[in-house]
Amino acid sequence: MRGLVVIPTYNEADNIDQIIIEILKYHFIDILIVDDNSTDGTADKVKRWMRKTDRVNLIEREGKLGLGTAYVTGFKWGLQRDYNYFFEIDADLSHDPKEIPNFIKKCREEKCDIVIGSRYLNGTISVVGWDFRRLLISKFGNWYATTILGTKQLTDITSGYRCYKRTVLENINLDDIKSNGYSFQIEMAYKALQLGFKICEIPIIFYERSNGVSKMSKKIAWEAAIMVWKLKLKSVFSKKIQIQSNKQEVTRPIFKA
């Protein structure tokens, strides 16, 4: 069993060493950093690790192309190699790498295809360091997406700490992922549910970053708000087409007769 942790980075030089150290403790895990030409030397720090161990890998992209496309690039890289589990984690230590074995345990014990680390399981709010406004944005984002998409069984569809079984990424058309930013999380979960994959959640604590700055912006939030409707409308539209083609199948023999 081998897992790949994909870490998208943009200006995470003050966090990257620590997260690499924590993850390398798990010998069944390799790391892939997808760096978008950070200006603070993040990639140089990763290269230093690469001289020490072949378990750390790096893809350098030419500019800030977004979290979603960074993950797609990372997953494709991993699919060319023989990993069974793929993780998403933020570089800023908001997600505790100590949870990694718990994701795999949950996957195995409950035959889940995706495990999401949820901050809001069983009505709790497990977030450290957020002000009320930030919490409201996150809670509203979750409510908005799950209400429109009908995915109420998920308490934290926007969480960026997750584990996918290989089969999920082999079956989702990664070239068809439309999200550049954080709506990537919503899009991946929704598409996996549509394909019939089982999504489970485990409780995690989210720690707001101590170093560096958030890349969350109004543009990214708007992309997410619009993306949810695009996903919904696409699914309604494709269901209609399916119903129509089913109808045609039923009526064909009658026409023949």
Rounded CA-CA distance 19/99 in Å is 13
d(Cα 162, Cα 169) in Å, to the nearest integer?
13
Give the bridge partners for 4, in sequence order: 30, 86
Q: Which is nearer to ligand GDP, 10 or 164 (CB)?
A: 10
Closest CA to 75 of 4, 2, 27: 4
- Name the one range near ligand GDP by CB under 6 A: 5-13, 119-127, 168-176, 225-233: 5-13
Stretch that binds ligand GDP, among 20-28, 84-92, 121-129, 241-249 (CB under 6 A): 84-92
DSSP secondary structure letter of residue 207: E
- Residue 10 contacts ligand GDP per CB under 6 A: yes
Rounded least distance, CB 133 to ligand GDP, Å = 13
- Is position 86 an interface residue for ligand GDP (rule: CB under 6 A)? no
Window 211-240: residues binding ligand GDP (CB under 6 A): 214-216
Rg (CA), the chain: 19
185 part of the interface to ligand GDP, by CB under 6 A: no
Q: Does 94 bind Mg ion (CB under 5 A)?
A: yes
- Compute CA distances 62 → 34, 59, 216, whole Å: 11, 10, 20
Which does residue 187 bind out of Mg ion, ligand GDP, none, counting CB within 5 to 8 angstroms by kind?
Answer: none
How far apart are alpha carbons 257 and 248 in whole angstroms? 14
Is position 34 an interface residue for ligand GDP (rule: CB under 6 A)? yes
Judging by beta carbons within 10 Å of its beta carbon (0-12, 13-18, 19+), is residue 236 exposed, middle or buried? exposed
Tell me: does residue 12 bind Mg ion (CB under 5 A).
no
Can you give the binding site for ligand GDP, defined by CB under 6 A? 8-10, 12, 34-36, 64-67, 70, 90-92, 94, 209, 214-216
